[in-house]
């Protein structure tokens, strides 16, 4: 008890080095044993986080420095997980704003910074990766200052301390000239900026706001949040003030704090600490835990609404149930209900279409939803996923509104004309353009709808040399119809195994998605047609055998390697009458209606 406590969050655009900085914090505060093997980005503990190289879930850890306990929150940098960032801001005393020394402030930097400034936090700027050849650290500081002014920062916030460093090497320095070999300048700046949490608040009645949820299979739902006032004890009877104003009673059966990377059980915790509590089953984000006779509720935490939806359907393909363990509506519902326990940016609704068996799942973007699909796939679920659709709203005048994105693209000058043309066709409006003669940096405001399916085209058009970053900028008036995919598909009209002879004949019709010796079914998409209509094909036909052989005509067939889709690419590719069939082993594309007759019946369906 009576420790000096400081809570900080690390915020930045994706790939600016947040998780690497947290690694450096942990290694320089002797959290690990001398013989302990330490992974890079140790806080990115989820499999998908490690594979994708991004932070998806905000996580806590704690370090000790000169008698201070510093609780650190590593936050996601991707716009789709901004609901995680919004809540965390309320639990910290200051934020370390990490900005790349070459890229400068990016769209997501603006979003996370605005949330911090709204809550009155005074950020510390750390310009990272100053060892880059193209670093322009001092210019970046000026750009960040301009961003603070644009976001109406107050006088105190504008006087932010600026530090420079290389998180990968665990180095932070006060200026570009003043060299260092550790993080001491950062630690000292944090202590000078914040000071320790007022000890006298520990003498007041308990006030704890839940900002994050977790689930433990042994002890149930866990509430994570900052203890603003009082001393919380294990076994204590409490009142829970809900977001709707109602009050419930409960008992703290388990109380935990963070030490290093571990969650440690304690008997009591003091004001200022980030704590984890168990024993209260219906906790939600924004609930305030108080003493039963002294209820002092904090303002509820408002989470921004979802902007995109997909239908999670029962897999109805002929291959359903072959490899998955969970294939029924009940299985899917139970899993989605479990996800809602901890994933507050998510909504689940029953489908209005009586012919479809599944649920409408709404989230903050394609990545937000595809991470959930990938998680379910690895757990043994089979699903049919529909095309992503944006969530449209109506204003007071009855006008249709749709979500908009700010997109910054950085492309070689030779490709910029193609990219600009495609963004214009997708109802984008150019906001800014800058060029150095070699690369062009273009800023667009574009409907979220217009970006569905654009990423793979962008990669192809720029030969992989283009960089695109985006962030949500709210809702605007509906921009009208946007043309979808220009090409039709090659659809299998037979059940069986693909043969090289048949595929060789189909190659002149378009790009194939399957190779030889692959099982296919009637209604499965096996390729992209070179024209704008769907074409029914038979990829299982073999060569008719005769008694005669001609010299040279029976040589082995040479096929072009088929195009393979990742989950995100498949979701972007499909149109309204198609589904992605997701199983633990395969990702297939199929028509919503498998038989040709059914497809003809639904050809003119509204979509």
- As annotated, the binding site for GTP includes 15-20, 128-131
Q: What is the DSSP letter of 202?
A: G
Task: List the binding residues.
Answer: 15-20, 128-131
Q: Which of 239, 231, 214 is nearest to 297 (CA)?
A: 239
Q: How many Å apart are CA 430 and CA 267, to the nearest integer?
A: 58
Cα separation, 222 vs 212, in Å, equals 9
Report the alpha-carbon distance of residue 103 to residue 81 in Å, rounded: 21
Asked if 310 and 385 touch (Cβ cutoff 8 Å), the reply is yes
Evaluate whether 261 touches 381 at the Cβ level (below 8 Å): no
C-beta separation of 108 from 469 below 8 A: yes
Closest CA to 163 of 139, 143, 142, 137: 137
What is the DSSP annotation of 78-90? SGGGHHHHHHHGG
Determine the Cα–Cα distance for residues 291 and 597; give it in Å rounded to an integer: 66
Burial class of residue 285 (count of CB atoms within 10 Å of its CB; 0-12, 13-18, 19+) = buried
**How far, CA to CA in Å, does 77 sit from each of 17, 27, 98, 586?**
10, 22, 10, 29
Contacts by 583-588, CB closer than 8 A, 24 or more apart: 583/315, 583/319, 583/322, 583/323, 583/324, 583/377, 583/382, 584/323, 584/324, 584/377, 584/378, 584/380, 584/381, 584/382, 585/323, 586/323, 588/317, 588/319, 588/524, 588/525
427 Ramachandran zone, left/alpha/beta (phi>0; psi -120 to 50): left
């Amino acid at each position: 008890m009576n420790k000096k406590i400081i809570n900080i969050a690390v915020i930045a655009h994706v790939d600016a080095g947040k998780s690497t900085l947290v690694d450096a914090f942990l290694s320089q505060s002797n959290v690990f044993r001398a013989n302990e093997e330490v992974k890079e980005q140790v806080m990115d503990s989820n499999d998908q986080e490690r594979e994708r190289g991004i932070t998806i879930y905000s996580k806590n850890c704690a370090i000790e420095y000169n008698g201070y306990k510093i609780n650190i929150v590593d936050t996601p940098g991707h716009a789709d997980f901004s609901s995680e960032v919004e809540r965390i801001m309320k639990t910290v005393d200051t934020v370390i704003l990490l900005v790349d020394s070459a890229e400068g402030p990016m769209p997501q930097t603006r979003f996370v910074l605005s949330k911090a400034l709204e809550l009155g936090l005074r950020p510390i700027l750390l310009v990272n990766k100053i060892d880059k050849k193209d670093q322009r650290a001092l210019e970046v500081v000026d750009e960040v200052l301009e961003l603070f002014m644009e976001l109406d920062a107050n006088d105190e916030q504008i006087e932010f301390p600026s530090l420079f460093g290389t998180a990968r090497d665990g180095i932070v320095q006060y200026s570009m000239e003043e060299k260092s070999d550790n993080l001491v300048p950062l630690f000292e700046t944090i202590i000078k900026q914040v000071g320790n949490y007022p000890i006298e608040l520990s003498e007041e009645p308990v006030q704890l706001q839940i900002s994050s949820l977790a689930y433990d299979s042994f002890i149930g739902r866990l509430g994570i949040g900052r203890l603003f006032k009082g001393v919380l004890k294990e076994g204590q009877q409490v009142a829970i003030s809900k977001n709707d104003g109602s009050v419930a009673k409960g008992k703290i059966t388990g109380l935990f704090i963070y030490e290093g990377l571990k969650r440690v059980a304690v008997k009591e915790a003091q004001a200022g600490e980030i704590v984890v509590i168990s024993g209260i089953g219906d906790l939600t984000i924004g609930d305030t835990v108080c003493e039963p006779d002294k209820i002092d509720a904090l303002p509820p935490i408002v989470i921004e609404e979802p902007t995109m939806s997909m239908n999670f359907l029962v897999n109805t393909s002929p291959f359903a149930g072959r490899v998955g363990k969970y294939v029924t509506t009940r299985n899917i519902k139970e899993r989605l209900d479990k996800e809602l326990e901890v994933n507050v940016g998510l909504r689940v609704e029953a489908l209005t279409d009586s012919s479809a068996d599944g649920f409408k799942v709404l989230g903050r973007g394609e990545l937000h939803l595809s991470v959930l699909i990938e998680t379910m796939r690895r757990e043994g679920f089979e699903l049919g996923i529909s095309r992503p659709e944006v969530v449209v709203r109506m204003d007071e005048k009855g006008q249709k509104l749709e979500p908009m994105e700010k997109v910054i693209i950085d492309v070689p000058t030779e490709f910029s004309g193609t990219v600009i043309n495609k963004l214009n066709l997708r109802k984008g409006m150019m906001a800014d353009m800058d060029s150095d003669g070699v690369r062009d940096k273009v800023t667009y405001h574009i409907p979220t709808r217009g970006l569905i399916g654009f990423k793979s085209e962008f990669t192809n058009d720029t030969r992989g040399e283009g960089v695109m970053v985006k962030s949500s900028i709210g809702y605007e008036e509906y921009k009208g119809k946007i043309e979808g995919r220009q090409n039709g598909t090659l659809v299998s009209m037979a059940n069986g195994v693909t043969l090289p002879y048949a595929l060789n004949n189909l190659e002149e019709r378009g790009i194939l998605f399957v190779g030889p010796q692959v099982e296919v079914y009637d209604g499965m998409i096996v390729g992209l047609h070179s024209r704008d209509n769907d074409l029914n094909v038979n990829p299982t036909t073999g060569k008719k055998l005769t008694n005669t052989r001609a010299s040279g005509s029976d040589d082995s067939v040479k096929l072009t390697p088929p195009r393979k889709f990742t989950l995100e690419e498949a979701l972007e590719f499909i149109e309204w009458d198609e589904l992605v069939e997701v199983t633990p082993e395969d990702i297939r594309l199929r028509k919503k209606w498998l038989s040709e007759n059914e497809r003809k019946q639904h050809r003119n369906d509204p979509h």
